[in-house]
Structure 1
Amino acid sequence: MPTENLIPNAAGTYENIANSTSGVGKHWQDVDDPIGTPDDNDTRVNTGNDGVGQIDTYSLPNHSEGSGTINSVTLHFRAKKDYVGAAKARAVIRTHASQHYGDQEAITTSYANYSNAWVVNPATSDPWTWDEVDDLEAGVTLEADASTWSYCTQVYVVVDYTPAPGRVRGYIIG
């Protein structure tokens, strides 16, 4: 199936993760790495020392290639922790003015990739529409206990779709 990739391009509704390489209003720039080439510690958002459920959401560009039926919307993120304490992260999408969360992941001391797929829009329980994809925000929540820090360096969305059937032109030969 064809896919379309959407990488954060602006701040979203929430910018509550405590720290960012780029500073206030620019958290999205710390997670907008090209797919397949994350910069890991060069740019990142992070929280620590009892950071509980801190959330960032990021605006995405409108789709430009996809058409037809959307099979799934998958949020991917890359995260790690420092030290031996407990740290968690999870995917979050914002659609129809509400947040919907993926599975909470216990993150490790090495950067790893995580993802969560939604086959229907969780706000409506109906199949995704392209207008909903265009209005989507993607993000992550981070938390860490008092003895560690949690980091996220990359967030992006992959929209899997089945193209609309093409028009078939018939010719009469005779």
Structure 2
Amino acid sequence: MKRALLAAMLLVGWVAASSQAYVTLYVDGDGDLSAFSSVPGGGADWEKVDEVGAHDGNSSYVASNDDGAIALFSLQNLDLPDGATIDYVILNAVIAFPDAQMRNGYFGIRSGGTDYWGSLLSVSANTSYAAYSRTYNTNPNGGLAWTDSAIDNLQVGFYIGSENRSGMRATQIYLDVYYTAAQNPDPDPDPLPQPVTVPAPMSILLAGLGSGLVGWLRRRNAV
């Protein structure tokens, strides 16, 4: 019974110690291609889409309506706890389609040298900035689970296709990496409670001593 109880305690401890969390990676450099224009002019393109937290709207952005234009960006390196398992990643972008010549576009990733843009974003009227997201449960380059090195080599960005009135304006892009960190159970769990011997009160000890002495005297007199 004690062994079964201890095993159950260890199992509960392991389950409680396993939890999912996520870390956000922001862009930190220009990638393989930088064919979008940037506002304000000057500086690197990635600095126009790297806001941490809230985006800055039209204060800084990249934009294009040229068919085939691609803008790619590198990400901060991933730093997860030892033994963590990557579950999936979510790519987030803030994009506007501000005029009649900017109604379609793509955002996505480059993994292993191949681009994965997903489905076309398309609007029927001018739009201000809105948040878009895309989930990648596995690495599309091979279909395997994500690894730290695969994410470290990932690039994210935007693509203008050849659809009619293609073009977009983008002010932010970042990647959320969801992972599970499993900790080992306590190697020295608290032992099961043991019986405790409590000393008898002095009055009980004296009473016992007295009765023993009386019995000894009676036996002696009988002799």
Quickly name the TM-score band, shorter chain normalised: 0.7 to 0.9
Judged with a 3 Å threshold, the aligned counterparts in structure 2 of structure 1 residues 47 and 143 are, in CA distance, closer, same or farther, namely farther
User: 1:17-166 to 2 correspondence within 5 Å?
Assistant: 17=36, 19-23=37-41, 26-35=44-53, 37-48=54-65, 51-65=66-80, 68-107=84-123, 108-142=126-160, 150-166=168-184
Q: Which structure is larger by alpha-carbon Rg, 1 or 2?
A: 2
Q: Give 1:70 shift.
A: 1.3
How many pairs does the alignment contain? 170
CA distance in 1, matches of 2:61, 2:162: 15
CA-based RMSD of the aligned residues comes to: 2.5
Structure 1 stretch displaced more, 66-75 or 164-173: 164-173
Normalised by the length of structure 2, the TM-score is 0.68
Is residue 6 from structure 1 mapped to residue 25 from structure 2 by the alignment? yes
Q: Which has the higher helix share?
A: 2
CA distance in 1, matches of 2:160, 2:52: 21
CA distance in 2, matches of 1:73, 1:158: 6
Q: Give 1:64 shift.
A: 2.2
Judged with a 3 Å threshold, the aligned counterparts in structure 2 of structure 1 residues 146 and 130 are, in CA distance, closer, same or farther, namely closer
Contact 2:104 2:166 in 1 (8 A): no
Q: Which has the higher contact order (CA 8 A, sep 6+)?
A: 1
Normalised by the length of structure 1, the TM-score is 0.85
Judged with a 3 Å threshold, the aligned counterparts in structure 2 of structure 1 residues 24 and 47 are, in CA distance, closer, same or farther, namely same
Return the letter of the residue paired with 2:79.
S
Structure 1, unaligned runs of 5 or more? none
Structure 2, unaligned runs of 5 or more? 1-19, 195-223
